[in-house]
Amino acid sequence: MAIGKQEVLAWLEALACVYAENRQYLTDLDAAIGDADHGSNMDRGFAAVRAELAAREPADIRKTLETTAAILIRTVGGAAGPLYGTFFLRAGAAADGKAELRAADVVALFEAGILGVQQRGKAAPGEKTMVDALLPALAAMRDALAAGGGLTAVLEQGAAAAEAGMRATIPMQARKGRASYLGPRSVGHQDPGATSSFLLLRAVVDTWRA
């Protein structure tokens, strides 16, 4: 299956549902080691994306992802707004001129987005951030593609690695963002941003699975 603009729109629609459903869960995670706003930040951002895309459908995949980025930067706030904004901006650039995405294009899109998040936030692996879910997902996607996997295999392995990466943040001490102010008291809690990143990838699999 190739991914066209309608599939990208369906993913973004799924994300609006996913973050609405998980608003309390993400907020509870952020209450433990932050300021209890990650769930409301993500829900507000993707609800605004849904409203804008329903009002004015962008011309192509790149414009759809760039519009998403602009709205997230404007509405999410906190640390996550600029980071997810960068993700969608870079992902959009990677889709430039493409009306359809095949497995390799999808990996290139996530690669651009994920490396953009790392560059923007300057978090290294092990610092208890969204990067701890995203980088393992990228590695797994690249491996699955190199092993000859199709789109579904690539996405399933990426989401599975993101889930493991999310759980692996529990014993980490936060070194970036608000949670780092807690020092060793941040240990023993799952990172909210790593959790929202896993949800982002799980929604792709659920939407684009062949």
Question: Which residue ranges make up the site for Mg ion (CB under 5 A)?
Answer: 30, 34-35, 37-38
DSSP assignment string, 140-158: HHHHHHHTT--HHHHHHHH
Name the closest residue to Mg ion (Cβ): 34
Using CB under 6 A, which of 145, 191, 199, 203 touches ligand ADP?
191
Name the closest residue to ligand ADP (Cβ): 193
Nearer to ligand ADP, 63 or 178 (CB): 178
Residue 104 beta carbon to Mg ion: minimum distance, rounded to whole angstroms = 35
Work out whether 137 is an interface residue with ligand ADP (CB under 6 A): no
DSSP assignment string, 38-107: HHHHHHHHHHHHHHHHHHS--SSHHHHHHHHHHHHHHHT-TTHHHHHHHHHHHHHHHTTT-SSB-HHHHH
- Going by the DSSP 8-state scheme, the letter that residue 127 receives in this structure is S
Using CB under 6 A, which of 90, 176, 189, 202 touches ligand ADP?
176
Residue 110 beta carbon to ligand ADP: minimum distance, rounded to whole angstroms = 16
